[in-house]
């Protein structure tokens, strides 16, 4: 009954969206949609940002116009998808395939003020498995953020959000195996900070707070409690940047994060810890050609529980975009850091790297490809995972109000856990209606 209602609502929304979109004033500023990703294109007198990857650049003939109400632009959209997954439970043996139907309605809001900024979004992401319905999920969330410009050199930024999410069977730190239910949880987060520029020097500071509240799940008629994963995370960072030139900068950053768990692990261990980090890096801005930043540093995680040894090691972050030509973009992203472990033990050292390519074959046809590798090394445990992914796809912009896409993904996991190896193929087709 729930899915019949949801499907009917979604189909109705597709029709309404397309009808309303065709009635929009084509003189509105459709490019405002990109501002939601901090890429403002001549909104309220703001300058065009030249540092844009091929897939994100404005396309006036295909960008949604949105709905304008005073200084506010609203961008509603809805995605409908159908997927095939060759191994929905991500198991080594007894693999089961399935067809998945997905619906994702969303609305974004952004202002066009010449100073300051306010943006918000709300979404729902639901999936229905044709046979393995224990994998069904309904995620949803709200987000509100903004910027307050104190002067041309300094600004406050803040964001609060709530998300109801799920942990999939193929998540890299998953708990569930086989035909158990997916695990759901609530995430509350708040961030805030200030940045100020003094000529060649820029100083910024940020605070962060996150609260995770995990639900129990059922497997084989047995309820598995997840309260030991409930935690609060709070901390912040300070960054000092020096501009060697308009194209090159150096920075150093100090990070601190405290993990405060509500309950001990199933083994009776307290999991509270503190994480300290210090890194140095460089930012590059070869306008519209090469931009982003990369850093390397040292990170240490110290536990209150004497049963856990303190962990330390090299940390890294990289996020670089190279516009190889006016039609092709390569992006290199990666990180190395200590993250919480779902096993109830100490942390896991997570290392990941990905190369992402986009190519504009036609003005309204963008191809993409991804190669990624991730290693999950669980500390004080023999568990270790190597995850390989390769994927490719295409986005076809049909009109300003409709777009279609197709994706293929292959994922392979090698694990030291018995029965932990698996691979899977996923093919997805989707249709989007937007305003």
Residue 231 has pLDDT above 80, yes or no: yes
- What CA dihedral angle connects 162, 166, 171 and 176, to 10 degrees? 140
What's the pLDDT at 87? 96
Count CB-CB contacts under 10 A for residue 22.
11
- Whether residue 25 is predicted with pLDDT greater than 90 in this model: the reply is no
| Percent residues over pLDDT 70 in the chain | 88
Read off the pLDDT band of 40 (50, 70, 90).
very low
Tens digit of each residue's pLDDT (9 = 90 or more) over 127-138 = 999 999 999 999
Q: Which residue matches tokens 């039609």?
A: 327
Q: Which residues of 398-435 are buried (b: 16+ CB within 10 A; e: fewer)?
A: eebbbbebebebebebebeeeebbbebebebebebbbb
Least confident of 62-66, 83-87, 297-301, 304-308: 304-308
Q: What helix, strand, coil percent values describe the chain, rounded to 5? A: 10, 60, 30
Q: Is the pLDDT of residue 39 over 70?
A: no
- Does residue 215 carry a pLDDT above 70? yes
pLDDT value of position 179 = 77
Confidence of residue 81 (pLDDT cuts 50, 70, 90): very high
Q: Residue 430 gets which letter from DSSP?
A: E
Q: Is-contact 30 63, C-beta < 8 A?
A: yes
Q: Please give the Cα distance from 420 to 82 (Å, whole number).
A: 27
Task: For residue 171, give every residue at least 6 positions away whose Cβ sits within 8 Å of its Cβ, in sequence order, or none.
Answer: none
Instruction: Please report, rounded to a whole number, the percentage of residues in the chain having pLDDT higher than 90.
Output: 74
Asked if pLDDT for residue 84 goes beyond 50, the answer is yes
82 pLDDT above the threshold of 50: yes
Q: Which residue has the tokens 């942990």?
A: 167
**pLDDT tens profile 90-100:** 999 999 999 99
Asked if residue 219 has pLDDT above 50, the reply is yes
pLDDT at residue 176, as a whole number: 64
DSSP track, 49-76: -----GGGS--TTTS---EEETTEEEEE
Per-residue pLDDT tens over the stretch 406-426: 999 999 999 998 888 999 999
| Residues with Cβ within 8 Å of residue 173, at least 6 apart in sequence | 167, 339, 340, 341, 342, 348, 376
Of residues 224 and 284, which shows the higher confidence score?
A: 284
pLDDT tens-digit series, residues 241-273 = 999 998 999 999 999 999 999 998 888 888 999
Which has more confidence, 120 or 224? 120
Residue 396 pLDDT exceeds 50? yes
Sign of torsion over alpha carbons 52, 163, 139, 132 = positive
Which of 37, 6, 174 lies closest to 101, judged by CA?
6
Mean pLDDT rounded to a whole number for the chain: 88
If you write DSSP's letter for every residue of 322-374 in order, what string do you get? E--SSSEEEEEEEEEEEE--TTSSS-EEEEEEEEEEEEEEETTEEEEEEEEEE
Q: How confident is the model at residue 13 (pLDDT cuts 50, 70, 90)?
A: very low
Instruction: Give me Rg for the CA atoms of the chain.
Output: 23
Confidence band for 172, pLDDT divided at 50, 70 and 90: confident
Residue 6 above 60 pLDDT?
no
pLDDT value at residue 48: 52
User: Which pLDDT score is estimated for 21?
Assistant: 39
Among 1.10.12, 2.40.160, 3.40.50, 1.10.3470, what is the CATH number of 2-434? 2.40.160
Residue 195 has pLDDT above 80, yes or no: yes
pLDDT at 15: 39
pLDDT band at 177 (very low <50, low <70, confident <90, very high): low
What's the confidence (pLDDT) of residue 45?
36
Dihedral sign (CA 264, 270, 271, 274): positive
Whether pLDDT at 38 is above 60: no
Residue 181's pLDDT is: 87
């Amino acid at each position: 009954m729930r899915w019949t209602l949801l499907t009917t609502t979604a189909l109705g929304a597709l029709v309404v969206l397309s009808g309303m979109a065709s009635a929009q004033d084509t003189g509105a500023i459709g490019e405002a949609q990109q501002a939601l990703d901090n890429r403002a294109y001549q909104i309220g007198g703001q300058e065009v940002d030249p540092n844009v990857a091929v897939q994100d650049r404005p396309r006036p003939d295909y960008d949604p116009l949105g709905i304008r109400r005073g200084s506010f632009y609203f961008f509603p959209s809805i995605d409908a998808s159908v997927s095939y997954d060759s191994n929905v439970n991500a198991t080594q043996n007894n693999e089961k395939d399935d067809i998945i139907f997905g619906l994702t309605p969303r609305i974004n809001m952004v202002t066009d003020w010449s100073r300051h900024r306010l943006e918000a979004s709300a979404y729902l992401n639901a999936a229905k498995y044709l046979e393995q319905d224990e994998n069904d999920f309904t995620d949803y969330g709200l987000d509100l953020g903004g910027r307050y410009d104190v002067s041309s050199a300094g600004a406050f930024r803040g964001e609060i959000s709530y998300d109801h999410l799920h942990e999939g069977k193929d998540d890299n730190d998953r708990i569930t195996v086989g035909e158990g239910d997916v695990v759901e949880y609530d995430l509350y987060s708040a961030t805030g900070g200030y940045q100020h520029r003094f000529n060649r020097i820029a100083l910024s500071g940020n605070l962060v707070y996150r609260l995770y509240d995990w639900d129990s799940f059922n497997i084989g008629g047995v309820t598995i409690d997840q309260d030991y994963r409930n935690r609060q995370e709070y901390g912040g960072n300070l960054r000092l940047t020096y501009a060697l030139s308009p194209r090159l900068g150096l920075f150093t950053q100090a990070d601190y994060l405290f993990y405060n768990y509500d309950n001990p692990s199933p083994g009776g261990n307290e999991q509270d810890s503190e994480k300290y980090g210090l890194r140095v890096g460089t930012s590059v801005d070869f306008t519209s050609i090469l931009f982003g930043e990369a850093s390397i540093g040292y990170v240490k995680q110290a536990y209150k529980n004497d049963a856990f040894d303190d962990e330390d090691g090299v940390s890294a972050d990289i996020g670089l975009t190279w516009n190889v030509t006016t039609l092709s973009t390569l992006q290199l992203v990666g990180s190395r850091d200590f993250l919480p472990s779902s096993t109830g033990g100490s942390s896991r050292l997570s290392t990941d790297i990905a190369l992402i390519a986009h190519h504009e074959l036609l003005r309204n046809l963008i191809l993409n490809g991804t190669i990624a590798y991730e290693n999950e090394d669980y500390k004080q445990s023999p568990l270790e995972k190597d995850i390989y992914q390769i994927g490719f796809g295409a986005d076809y912009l049909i009109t300003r109000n409709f777009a279609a896409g197709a994706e293929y993904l292959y994922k392979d996991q090698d694990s030291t856990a018995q029965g932990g190896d698996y691979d899977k193929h996923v093919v997805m087709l989707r249709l989007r209606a937007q305003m």
